[in-house]
A and B are shown apart, each in its own frame.
Chain A
Amino acid sequence: MRAPFPRWRAMGDAALLVELGDEIDERLNARVHALAAQLATAPGLECIPGYASLLVEFDPDILSQEKLETAIAHALEQPMAAAQAKPRVVEIPTRYGGEWGPDLDFVARRNGLTPAQVVEIHTRCPLRVFMLGFTPGFPYIGPLPAKIAAPRLETPHTHVPAGAVGIAGRQTGIYPRESPGGWQIIGHTDLILFDPTRDPPTLLAPGDYVRFVAVDR
């Protein structure tokens, strides 16, 4: 039987997976990032935020699992800090469709929309960066309105270019570098998502918001 949320379980002998829920939800995700911030003063930790979870890597010789669990339980008992100063909204100039968005027509057809309508919905509102992962700087952004959701490709693209903007389910994301990819590619941005010579090395951070902006090809 599964324990209710919040719950935590060991991932090996030096990491704890703290699960706050099991859905893609902005408030839940905000709680994840707030927990990471609360743990920032504890020694020897590295936290990796997920949609609704936080992986806490720790050094048992610096901080015992027991003390860490106590700190987590205590942090979660605190009411979440009042909404911080307005989060950043980063504009993402995007060329949609054509050679830059080979899957835009499919996403439109699947949802009974025109490509222009898909673009309008994709660019309508600021969307939250829930987490980064998969590759350095890759943002998991959403939630998209269900009207433009689309499943991953059955056969992934072998080469998705750096800057490709994609959709998978109700998530949207941007590929920081060329790689194979299973997301529906609807557009492209020239923005650099990851530069290891800079500090911080990524354009976007978890908790940021983005606004896609359609630009001419």
Chain B
Amino acid sequence: MFDVIDPGLFTTIQDLGRVGFQSYGVTPGGAMDPFALRAANALVGNAPGEAALEITLAGPRLSALEKCVIAVTGARFALTVDERPMPANTALFIRASATVQFGARQAGARAYLALAGGIDVPLVLHSRATDVRGQFGGLAGRALQGGDRLIPRYATLRVERAGKMLPARVEAYVEQDTPIRIIRGPHLAYFADATIAALEGQTWQVSELADRMGLRLAGARLDRAAGEILSCGVTRGAIQVPAGGQPIILMADYQTTGGYPIIATVIRADLPRLAQKTAGDTIAFIAVDVVHARQAYQELEQLIRSIS
């Protein structure tokens, strides 16, 4: 159980999102980096989809009201407990009245703090994820504020988890700078071959207009056939190209339907890496086939399952 002394820049309660409501226009939402969320839950002995904190760019200061076990994964921050440096990617035993503080950000954009026992907020449409635009889910549909109290969903004290660590190779993805893998299409007819080559041949910069809905990219303009597509369902990772020619990668809180043609879609296995990008970071793309993509996802799943 924690009191929030300082909420940080934008800290929300997230889980693995809302399944089954997209045809109502409800975005699945949930953790931008579901891999880090699952890893944090695994470290503290939670089920993979327990609600946890998603911490963005500048992290919170929390005061423990009782002893507990936590783990922080994803982006690297200078983490201290009672002002002593503590490792990330490790289950930590926290004594009552300890202060957990996120200091300077060192790598990545989003960290996840899992508490053994999860976080007790009501289920809304079967999920505890915060839909900030819709103002529902999580803690009253908003980011954390000073004075909030985080209560575990169930009482547990997994002292035996303390010290459990992620394998080093798991941590490495946060800073991995290899091209982001994409599947071309589905609206390839809107784009000339040269344009598809231009998507994959240049380095894009993540613009200031990047948030949980999508990463807007800045770079050489992508030409496309005029007009919009008939609104259709879209999915996370889809790369839309509006009339201005600057692509947008749809992220966790994507609008469920769209009218912009989609030139390519980021593979599932590379969505966690994308979630660790912020304004000013660069991205390059490389096309792969679905077989390779699914294999990469399988490898990621194996990695998560190996944490136990």
Cβ of B234 and Cβ of A131 under 8 Å apart? no
Contact B266–A12 (Cβ < 8 Å): yes
What mask results when residues 5 to 16 of chain A are scored 1 for a CB within 8 Å of chain B, else 0? Answer: 000011111110
Residues 192-206 (chain A) with a chain B CB within 8 angstroms: 194, 196-197, 200-202, 205-206
Is residue A185 contacting chain B, with contact meaning CB distance below 8 A? no
Chain B contacts with A in 219-242, Cβ cutoff 8 A: 230-235, 237-238
Query: How far is B189's CA from A133's CA once the two chains are assembled, in angstroms?
Result: 24
Q: Which residues of A in the span 162-217 have a Cβ within 8 Å of any Cβ on B? A: 177, 194, 196-197, 200-202, 205-206
B250 to chain A, nearest CB (A): 10
Would you list which residues of chain A between 36 and 80 have a CB under 8 Å from chain B? Answer: 36, 46-55, 57, 60-61, 65
Complex CA gap A65/B289 in Å reads 13
* A2, B185: Cα distance in complex, Å: 12
Whether the Cβ atoms of A12 and B23 lie closer than 8 Å is no
Taking the complex as formed, is A132 at the interface, i.e. its CB lies under 8 A from any CB of chain B?
Answer: yes
Q: Is the CB of A177 within 8 A of B257?
A: no
Contacts of B265 in A (CB 8 A): 10-13, 15
Closest to B296 in A: A13
Measured as residues with beta carbon below 8 angstroms from the partner, the interface class of chain B is 35 or more
CB distance from B20 to the nearest CB of A (A): 6
B294 at the interface (CB under 8 A from A): yes
Which chain A residues lie closer than 8 Å to B230 at the CB level?
A: 22-24, 50-53
B282 interface residue, CB < 8 Å from A?
no
A interface, size bucket:
35 or more
A21 to B: closest C-beta gap in Å? 8
User: Is A17 in contact with chain B by the CB < 8 A criterion?
Assistant: yes
Residues of A within 8 A of B233 (CB): 17, 47-50, 53-55, 133
B186 within 8 A of A: yes
Tell me the smallest distance from the CB of A105 to a CB of chain B, in Å: 27
Residues in A neighbouring B298, C-beta threshold 8 A: 61
A24 to B232, CA, bound (A): 12
Within 8 A of A (CB), among B79-102: none
| B interface residues with partner A (beta carbon < 8 Å) | 19-27, 124-125, 131, 133-134, 136-137, 183, 185-186, 188-189, 230-235, 237-238, 255-258, 262, 265-268, 290, 293-294, 297-298
